Chains A and B, each alone.
Chain A
Amino acid sequence: MAFLEVSKLSKNYGVMPVFKDFDLTLEEKDRLVLIGPSGCGKSTFLRCLMGLENISSGDIRLNGNDYISVNPRGRMKLQRQVQKNVGMVFQHYTLFPHFSVLSNLCLAPVYARRMPKAEARDKAMGLLRKFGLAERANYYPSQLSGGQKQRVAIARALMLDPRLMLFDEVTSALDPELVVEVENTMMELAESGMPMLIVTHDMHFARNIATKVAFLEGGRVVEIAPPAELFTQPKEARTKSFLKNILRFEGGDL
């Protein structure tokens, strides 16, 4: 039994299908990177996993527990207890601008998990120290660089001890020089054994961090394989042409 099981996921935007009978499994040691052309549903898939989108049919199970399902009458049912195990970081930081970095980190533990404030503060400072952001604890988001904001967003999600982390194009909106610090943070998190689902356009980073890479197009998995295999010996024609274009753009091969 896999760590994350997605079966027969279907979702429409109005009459346009986004996914139809989409299947995916993830083991606990997996870090899956989703690549593919824009608008093929990668971000939407992550949002479905976070419970931010409605699905019309399908089953999602996390660690053996029912997470999201759709009853015969078409109503989606989401288990909040299981949702608490999933953390997500978005493309546009979405730190709360009226709270300091420290308050951003402590808000959810204190008010959603009833953690005592002192305990939350200690945990937050520990995380910030690990990320090298301890001196910025009392800064406001507007005083941070994009890379710092994104790392704070990651720390904020980690405060809740998630079992699965979702990253939705977290470096796409950053200046190129700031991308590295965020990716390094994600690599450290990976080395500590966190299961992840990552959507990114950075192929080099994908190659380094992933245990599996999935190429999505038109709402279905065209090909899924370990990164070494997918990037050097893609089996499907679409995968080949996509990678050829992307890698030409990025200047070189992997």
Chain B
Amino acid sequence: MVDLNFSFVLGYTNVLLAGLLTSIQFVSVAIVLGLSLGFVLSLMRSFGGTILGMIATVFVEVFRGTPVLVLLFWFFFCLPVFFGTDLGGFASAVLALSLYFAAITSETFRSSLKSIEPAQLDACVALGLGAGTRIFRVILPQAVLRAIPNLSSNVVSLFKESALVSAVGLADLMYVGQNIANKEARPIEILTVVALIYFACAFPLTRIAAVIEKKLLKVIKV
């Protein structure tokens, strides 16, 4: 067996945490951009009519069906061609992650919109509610509430995909871990710790989603 020595990892705590912070920053930006775009896309697909619906569908299918790594490389290698300058990994990372998140959240919103029973729309007619009230006070709030469980698993997926930004040279947790592993030639300890850090962040997220589902949605029971 191999002799393992985990203590040296402690010396790298700051570096690892800095890497984690970078990962979280990318994820946060991607969430903000991706959530808004994803929401718009789902509205386009559900209510937008044929043309808008088709555009949104094509967009979603492309960014769901292509591996995030391919998206990353595409932006990383192709954007400089369009803009004439080398942009570095940052733009491609933000674009790839945000567009990926937009695609998967649009699916989440679309299915939650679809899950609202037509009978509720009947009630809106019977009560004489106008379109604005119907959409903004009856349908959308319920769609958002119903989407929460899936949205939280989408965030976990995004967090996992964020490890890819290391492939374009961005100093996230994965990149930092690999660097240390190379430098110290001790991959087992370092990579295991990195994996544990990812786990320590992702696992609670999955549990929080379950708790929210139980407490909030138990009362409101959308």
Contact = CB atoms under 8 A, between A and B. Distances in A.
A83 B219 contact: no
A242 to B, nearest CB: 28
B221 A97 contact: yes
Contacts of A112: 127-130, 133
Given A98-B142, A112-B133, A157 B221 contact: no
Contacts of A84: 128
A156 interface: yes
Interface string A129-145: 00000000000111100
A145 to B, nearest CB: 14
Interface string B43-64: 0000000000000000000000
Interface string A77-97: 000100110111010101111
A156 B145 CA distance: 23
Contacts of B218: 142
Nearest to B117: A94
A225 interface: no
Contacts of B1: none
A247 to B, nearest CB: 31
Contact of A142 (B123, B138, B142, B221): B221
B126 A157 contact: yes
Which of A96, A140, A156 has the most B CB atoms < 10 Å from its CB?
A96
B221 A90 contact: no
A98 B217 CA distance: 9
B145 A50 contact: no
A141 B123 CA distance: 15
Contacts of A96: 120, 123, 138, 142
A94 B221 contact: no
A52 B123 CA distance: 10
Give the size category of B's interface with A. 20 to 34
A90 B133 CA distance: 20
A51 interface: yes
A140 B127 contact: no
B119 A90 contact: yes
Contacts of B133: 107, 111-112
Interface in B128-147: 128-130, 133, 137-138, 141-142, 145
A44 to B, nearest CB: 13
A51 B142 contact: no
Contacts of A83: 128
Contact of B126 (A50, A95, A97): A50
A51 B128 CA distance: 10
Interface in B6-30: none
Contact of A156 (B119, B127, B220, B221): B127
A98 B112 CA distance: 14
A160 B125 contact: no
A125 interface: no
B120 A111 contact: no
Contact of A51 (B119, B125, B145): B125
B221 A111 contact: no
B87 interface: no
B188 interface: no
A46 to B, nearest CB: 10
A108 interface: yes
B128 to A, nearest CB: 5
Given A141-B221, A143-B219, A98 B141 contact: yes
A92 B122 CA distance: 11
A87 B126 contact: yes
A92 B142 contact: no
Contacts of B120: 94, 96
Interface of A: 47, 50-52, 80, 83-84, 86-88, 90, 92, 94-98, 107-108, 111-113, 140-143, 156-157, 160
Interface of B: 117, 119-120, 122-123, 125-130, 133, 137-138, 141-142, 145, 218-222
Given A90-B119, A94-B122, 8 more contacts: A94-B119, A95-B123, A111-B133, A112-B127, A112-B130, A140-B220, A157-B126, A157-B127
26 contacts: A47-B122, A50-B122, A51-B125, A83-B128, A88-B122, A90-B119, A90-B122, A90-B123, A94-B122, A96-B120, A96-B123, A96-B142, A97-B142, A98-B141, A98-B220, A107-B129, A112-B130, A112-B133, A140-B221, A141-B221, A142-B218, A142-B220, A142-B221, A143-B219, A157-B126, A160-B128
